[in-house]
Amino acid sequence: MDPRDEHRTLRALGLADAPRDHPLSYPGAWPAASGLLHGDELLPLDRLTHPGRTPVVAVGSNASPAQLRHKMAGFAVTSPIPMVRARVTGIDVGVSAHISRAGYVSASPVDAPAVTRELFVIWLNPEQLALIDGTEPHYDRVLLPAPGFRVELENGEALLDPFAYVNHHGVLHNGDGIPRSHPGQRPLLTELLARSQALRELFGATPEEFCARARADARRCERGTQLFAEENLVTASGLEHLHVR
């Protein structure tokens, strides 16, 4: 590697740790600006839109370059991925009502007409899109149609009809039936474990124990997902009506 490019590596940018390897870091570190993920580097982009690719709004670890790199490397896919910052109106980042085998409780979008969030749009070619679809077995990829949802790129351009992944288990709420926001993995697990004795019996008393036990036992994850529903912590995301690809 040219020494002049070393500052563009994920390690140099503080983006090298994938939530799949470090579950308490979920959703992982996101870039400070738009860029082109190419192997272990995040390079400058020469444009914000990419005809021939599918735009997907990422609300969780799909906005983490390290997580994307991990997914692509697992299937020997080496083509670059444009990652574009965007202001997204109409959704918020909720909490999926399932426990991932990777050891964390992931994010999922929820209907929030008055909310605008700074998120990332990842532009996927057909091979990449099929791969990401395959890594999201608990999610449906749905269209976010205008005018109900607005995705504004850095140059002010409105992006029409991007996709997003919506968890089909529903999302968690705080007890009032309204979807809760995802606060990050450690505070989320700390709160969930403090509130539920059954969850502590299953996953331990600390976030570290939770992650370790979840990663070690798929059936434990399934039982924990069932507990969310049994303890009446699950509600609809409000996006169930959207068209599934």
Range of the domain at 39: 3-235
- The Cα–Cα gap between 43 and 39 comes to 10
In a domain, 53, yes or no: yes
Burial class (CB in 10 A: 0-12, 13-18, 19+), 108: buried
- The Cα–Cα gap between 61 and 190 comes to 20
Write out the H or E segment, with its range, that includes residue 125.
none
What is the 8-class DSSP label of residue 241?
A: T
Angle CA 208–211–217, to nearest 5: 135
Terminal CA-CA length for the chain: 40
Using 50, 70 and 90 to split pLDDT, how confident is the model at 5? low
pLDDT on residue 1: 46
In a domain, 244, yes or no: no
- The Cα–Cα gap between 181 and 94 comes to 4
The per-residue pLDDT for range 140-189, each reduced to its tens digit, is 999 999 999 999 999 999 999 899 999 999 999 988 899 999 999 999 99
- The Cα–Cα gap between 121 and 109 comes to 14
Q: Where are the alpha helices (DSSP H) in the chain?
A: 65-74, 126-134, 185-195, 197-203, 207-216, 218-230
In a domain, 243, yes or no: no
Interacting residues of 191 by C-beta distance below 8 A, sequence separation 6+? 183
The pTM of this model reads 0.94
Angle CA 56–60–64, to nearest 5: 85
The per-residue pLDDT for range 93-129, each reduced to its tens digit, is 999 999 999 999 999 999 999 999 999 999 999 999 9
In a domain, 242, yes or no: no
Nearest to 129 by CA among 233, 52, 20: 52
The per-residue pLDDT for range 54-83, each reduced to its tens digit, is 999 999 999 999 999 999 998 899 899 999
- The Cα–Cα gap between 97 and 228 comes to 7
Nearest to 83 by CA among 105, 101, 61: 61
What average pLDDT score do residues 209-215 get? Answer: 98
CATH number at residue 134: 3.10.490.10
Residue 186, number of CB atoms within 10 A of its CB: 18
Residue 3 confidence (pLDDT) above 70: no
Contacts within 8 Å (CB) and 24+ apart, 70-78: 70/18, 70/20, 70/21, 71/131, 71/132, 71/135, 72/128, 72/131, 75/131, 77/127, 77/128, 77/131, 78/39
What average pLDDT score do residues 200-219 get? Answer: 98
Domain count of the fold of the chain: 1
In a domain, 50, yes or no: yes
- The Cα–Cα gap between 81 and 127 comes to 11
Residue 244 confidence (pLDDT) above 60: yes
